[in-house]
């Protein structure tokens, strides 16, 4: 065992840690030394979004001690920024230990003299964002690992606008957390009277907000019998999504019963992510059996939504996040214009790895479209910057997240489900489907096709391997990809764009982020981005061409799919 690792282990064995923790360390010493080394070789990093990691004993694990120390650092920072009474909101999802972590978080905040609004039971993450804004809190925390596997848990930290931390607060909180060197630095108890349990009264306010986002409530009423299949994938969506659909007028909602009970073991899925076909397979089967109009699934903390629809052959398919986003963006732009409620200063926001088709739709409809770094905190930050000048309508990203309206500041699958069902109802009212609308948009604006490859590098060497891959692309960018010249290299870490042909440069006016994009002469784009929450590197592919008519869809899609496959093979990412 390396000396630095052994020192940390000894600190836990000799420090103020409970007997079960110490016994667990000794068991690993005798039976699983490699597991013990991985558990202590570093401190679980409090990143710009908070904590996320495998649950267990050790400095590199999610446990009551790492959660308590993180909360003490965050509490110290809040007290340095605000005077007078400080309040926070705390929520959690369905994951194993999430309630325990939420209560520890609440207790530490309260012991530091901070008032806490603690949800009585599991709740979707977007409701926490809403709650922070409603109670004028200075911050908040939700205990969740979003869509990660069951072994994980996490801790997302929020600021007073209801958004996750952005500069300078993200880095400043990290510094304060790093100052907490021992569990003895944590105030674990003593302020319990400052904790206020909340529940239905906030649910009702949030659900009223969701209902208010509807553009065509009359269409929802006319199509109240829209056949909807919904799965919360064992998560917190069960707390609000069925009620939200009911309030919006939909009364033909079929639950996926096998996945309707909250369960942190996620017994019916390998990976509780609605992006995965396997995760949505039970729902797809039920939707097919019922001949439903639409299938929707939310992840454990109900901030991401997966959508199933029937294609032009009557086959059930899952839309990717880009398709869902472009349909939702277009609906909010198009419907608001048709209803006469669009404003001259309307704006929409997407991320740099989300389909550029949204930019085209916005431009041709006279709506400002802004691109930000990956993460809804950046969408929220831009809303805050422009809220006195421009009217925010919708934001989203390719990873199955949408944020509709300006009363929350994080992605929200609850409101996304209701708007997506309204969109399906709107098309059905015209004797059409969402897939018909999708193809119409491709004909009108161009056929954009996207794909994603994720490569996981686990263990102590994973981060170094991912860093080496990025440096290789950064230092030796390809001149051509799939026979097409690379027009530009966009390096968001260096905040620098480079014209490959003549070597000229320009500044990228976004915060630094370890993302590279290759823009090809024909408008295709390949992006590489290490994940900020998992040991992964993600590659995003976007290609496009014109679509002459709806009948040419299948043949054109095959051409675009073949092109993406060639690019993936050429880059050695298969």
433 and 187 Cβ atoms separated by less than 8 Å: no
Nearest alpha carbon to residue 113 among 195, 197, 198, 175: 195
Give how far Cα 116 sits from Cα of 40, 67, 132, Å: 32, 16, 11
pTM here is 0.95
Q: What is the DSSP letter of 41?
A: S
pLDDT in tens, 214-236: 999 999 999 999 999 999 999 99
Query: For residue 231, how many C-alpha atoms fall within 13 Å in the half-sphere facing its CB?
Result: 27
pLDDT in tens, 511-551: 999 999 999 999 999 999 997 666 789 999 999 999 999 99
On whether the CB atoms of residues 57 and 24 are closer than 8 A, the answer is: yes
d(CA 316, CA 137): 44
Cα–Cα distance for residue pair 278/149, rounded to 1 Å: 13
How far is residue 572 from each of residues 481, 561, 565, measured CA to CA in Å? 12, 17, 11
Instruction: Enumerate domains of the chain plus CATH numbers.
Output: 42-198 (3.40.120.10), 206-445 (3.40.120.10), 447-570 (3.30.310)
* pLDDT at position 462: 80
Active-site residue, 30 included: no
In tens, the pLDDT along 282-328 reads 999 999 999 999 999 999 999 999 999 999 999 999 999 999 999 99
What angle (nearest 5°) sits at the alpha carbon of residue 312, between those of residues 309 and 316?
35
Tell me the pLDDT tens digit for each residue of 372-394.
999 999 999 999 999 999 999 99
What per-residue string of b and e applies to 38-56 under the rule 16 or more CB within 10 Å gives b? bbbbeebebebbbbbbbbb
User: Sorting pLDDT into bands at 50, 70 and 90, what band is 461?
Assistant: confident
Q: Is the pLDDT of residue 415 over 80?
A: yes
The tokens of 320 are what?
Answer: 């990717």
Other Cβ atoms within 10 Å of 405 Cβ, number = 17
Contact between 67 and 180 under an 8 Å Cβ cutoff? The reply is no
Q: Which of 87, 98, 129, 146 is catalytic?
A: 146
The one-character DSSP state at 405 is S
Rounded to whole angstroms, how far apart are CA atoms 24 and 20? Answer: 6
Separation of CA 410 from chain center: 8
Q: What is the Cα–Cα distance from 332 to 330, expressed in whole angstroms?
A: 6
* Spatial separation of the C-alpha atoms in residues 548 and 552, rounded to whole Å: 7
Who wins on pLDDT, 90 or 147? 90
């Amino acid at each position: 065992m390396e000396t630095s690792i052994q020192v940390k282990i000894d600190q836990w064995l000799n420090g103020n840690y409970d007997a079960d923790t110490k016994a667990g360390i000794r068991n690993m010493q005798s039976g699983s030394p490699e597991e013990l080394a991985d558990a202590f070789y570093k401190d679980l990093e409090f990143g710009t979004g908070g904590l996320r990691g495998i649950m267990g004993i050790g400095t590199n694990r999610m446990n009551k001690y790492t959660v308590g120390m993180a909360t003490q650092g965050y509490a110290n920072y809040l007290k340095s920024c605000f005077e007078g009474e400080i309040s926070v909101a705390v929520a959690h999802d369905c994951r194993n230990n999430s309630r325990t972590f939420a209560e520890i978080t609440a207790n530490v905040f309260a012991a530091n003299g901070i008032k806490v609004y603690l949800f009585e039971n599991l709740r979707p993450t977007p409701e926490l964002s809403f709650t922070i804004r409603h109670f004028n809190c200075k911050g908040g925390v939700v205990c969740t690992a979003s869509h990660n596997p069951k072994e994980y848990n996490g801790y997302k930290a929020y600021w007073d606008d209801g958004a996750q931390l952005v500069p300078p607060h993200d880095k400043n909180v990290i510094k304060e957390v790093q100052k907490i060197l021992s569990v003895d630095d944590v105030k674990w108890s003593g302020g319990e009277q400052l904790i206020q349990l909340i529940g239905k009264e906030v649910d009702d306010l949030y659900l009223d907000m969701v209902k208010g986002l509807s553009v065509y409530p009359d269409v929802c009423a006319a199509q109240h019998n829209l056949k909807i299949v919904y799965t919360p994938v064992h998560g917190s969506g069960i707390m609000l999504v069925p009620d939200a659909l009911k309030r919006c007028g939909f009364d033909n909602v079929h639950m996926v019963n096998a996945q309707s009970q909250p369960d942190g073991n996620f017994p019916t899925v390998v990976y509780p992510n609605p992006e995965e076909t396997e995760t949505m397979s039970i729902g797809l089967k039920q939707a097919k059996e019922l001949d439903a109009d639409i299938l929707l699934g939310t992840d454990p903390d109900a901030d991401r939504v997966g959508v199933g629809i029937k294609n032009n052959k009557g086959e059930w398919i899952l839309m990717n996040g880009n398709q869902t986003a472009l349909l939702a963006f277009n609906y909010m732009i198009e419907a608001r214009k048709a209803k006469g409620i669009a404003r001259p200063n309307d704006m929409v926001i997407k991320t740099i790895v989300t389909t550029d088709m949204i930019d085209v739709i916005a431009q041709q409809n006279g709506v400002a479209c802004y691109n930000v770094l990956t993460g809804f905190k950046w969408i929220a930050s831009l809303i805050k910057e422009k809220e006195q000048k421009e009217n925010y309508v919708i934001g989203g990203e390719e990873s199955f997240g949408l944020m509709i309206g300006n009363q929350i500041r994080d992605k929200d699958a609850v409101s996304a489900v209701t708007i997506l069902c309204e969109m399906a109802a709107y098309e059905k009212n015209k004797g059409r489907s969402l897939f018909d609308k999708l193809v119409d948009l491709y004909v009108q604006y161009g056929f954009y096709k996207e794909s994603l490859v994720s490569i996981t590098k686990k263990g102590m060497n994973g981060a170094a391997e991912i860093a080496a891959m990025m440096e290789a692309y950064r230092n030796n960018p390809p001149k051509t990809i799939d026979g097409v010249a690379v027009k530009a290299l966009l390096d968001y870490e260096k905040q620098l764009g480079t014209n490959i042909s003549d070597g000229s440069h320009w500044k990228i006016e976004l915060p630094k982020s370890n993302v590279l994009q290759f823009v090809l002469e024909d408008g295709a784009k390949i992006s590489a981005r290490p994940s900020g929450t998992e040991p992964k590197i993600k590659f995003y592919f976007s290609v496009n061409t014109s679509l002459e008519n709806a009948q040419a869809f299948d043949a054109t899609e095959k051409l675009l799919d073949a092109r993406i496959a060639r690019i993936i093979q050429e880059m050695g990412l298969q």
